[in-house]
Structure 1
């Protein structure tokens, strides 16, 4: 389905992102991976443009224009063929479709009558001992359960999980797998930005973080995309020690722009007992990791 019409400025921005994305993905695919014979030494890694064009079944000039971000019409079939040629994963493929102008429009319409999120709040609070929170399209907290506020000591409306992670070093050290968490956060934020191509706030947030966080800047320039709906999160709590969760994210048709995140204590660990102990001792006043 064709995306909704965009302004000339937003179209230029989308094509710029498309150019960078195609170049970075092409550089990561070797000739051997796609069955091409590598007979000569190359100055740069990855596939050449003519090789991607051949694999996708399109003209070299046409693919060059596409990668240069020229204003050309791209069919869904060509997007799919280029995705195959570059060996794109699921959400990378979806991201390319969006940049090429073939994204289904995000469900629009008025929010439910309980504009304050009464139903969603009841759902979030219903997760009991498992921390849960709701974030908006940018990763800002809208609702946090009592267990989430007690465990993480964060949950004020408007707190941005991404910004806190990359601007507060005391947050990052809570995560033994900090590099993996950072990579996933940035890839997810880029995927979110593609869902709302007309919204300049994503670029403003990314621009500020790009200036203030070298780590974010390096990851953002990689142009990776992902939607980590389920990930293992290891969190080192200053009082409870190491806890291991399955971090699960979900979307609701009633709240299409929001994301519900739940931390489920992994079985065969003592994480649930540690969380209960913190809750029973009113740990919400203690310093804890940010919600990421």
Structure 2
């Protein structure tokens, strides 16, 4: 669970980045004179949210302030936050119960593993609260090479996106779009565990190895998970097109099931079956 000081600082950074992305015209204000910095001024946000300028300034400075839920809603409206951003704001303001879960509790049950296997040849895998791959079916292994360890964070999805050169090929030509989406979803989840040592180490190492991560992380972009189409460039069978869906395990909510359904009216399903046949033939040979 995030410490109070870290939470307040992240809240301050989040508010500041949301404020600077809005123009006066977007919120119905007149731009006026020349501005030294982009976006809205603090006094403009305070005016829109109907709160005091001094009070809002202290909030953006990370001071020990406890805004009510009503005030948070007003600030969220003023900053035109999305649903995911609004949820993130309330988490950072300690206005919503944070579930205390631990990676050691993340167990993929035999029943869930059977579900993954039953989905073949549709790729499916499970990730945990740390965004580590915990289990996957044979097709997901062939498509995403999930059994291949990528040290030092082994099977971490975020680490693979930014530190593994293979991801540039897999998500070509839309790697940047995919990476920013993953980062925004990971940032939204981070309010639950940003004070944990593993998280701090991961962020430090990602900033060290990836200039893109280093540039994007301070933006505080957040988003919720949503169904979407995703293309994969496979080295053996070429372009694969999927509809990506995320399901939550009711009994273990920190686990997420990621399912990649072959997009209709494409040859993706046939190519996946081809991959499975190639694997069977390879096993027979050896």
Give the TM-score, by structure 1 length: 0.88
SS at match of 2:258: strand
Q: CA deviation at 1:58?
A: 0.4
Task: Report the RMSD for the aligned CA atoms in angstroms.
Answer: 2.4
- Relative to its length, the structure with more helix (as a share) is 2
User: 1:268 maps to which residue?
Assistant: 265
Residues of 2 paired with 1:108 and 1:206: CA distance?
20
Q: CA deviation at 1:217?
A: 1.0
Residues of 2 paired with 1:23 and 1:129: CA distance?
46
Q: CA deviation at 1:196?
A: 3.2
CA contact (8 A) 1:133 1:143 kept: yes
Residues 1:122 and 2:119 are matched in the alignment? no
SS at match of 1:173: helix
Residues 1:134 and 2:126 are matched in the alignment? yes
The 5-angstrom pairing of residues 44-193 of structure 1 reads 44-106=37-99, 115=107, 117-155=109-147, 159-175=155-171, 176-193=173-190
The 5-angstrom pairing of residues 212-227 of structure 1 reads 212-227=209-224
SS at match of 1:39: coil
User: 1:290 maps to which residue?
Assistant: none
SS at match of 1:247: strand
Q: CA deviation at 1:31?
A: 0.5
Residues of 1 paired with 2:96 and 2:281: CA distance?
42
The 5-angstrom pairing of residues 4-83 of structure 1 reads 10-83=3-76
User: 1:242 maps to which residue?
Assistant: 239
CA contact (8 A) 1:143 1:155 kept: no
SS at match of 1:264: strand
Q: CA deviation at 1:108?
A: 6.0
Q: CA deviation at 1:199?
A: 3.1
User: 1:279 maps to which residue?
Assistant: 276
List runs of 5+ in structure 1 lacking aligned partners.
286-292
Residues of 2 paired with 1:280 and 1:219: CA distance?
41
Q: CA deviation at 1:107?
A: 7.2
CA contact (8 A) 2:116 2:137 kept: yes
SS at match of 1:192: helix
Residues 1:258 and 2:250 are matched in the alignment? no
Residues of 2 paired with 1:277 and 1:58: CA distance?
61
Alignment size in residue pairs: 277
Deviation string 1:27-58 (CA, Å, 9 cap, x unpaired) is 00110011001222212111000000010010
Residues of 1 paired with 2:117 and 2:58: CA distance?
51
CA contact (8 A) 1:107 1:256 kept: no
Q: CA deviation at 1:155?
A: 3.2
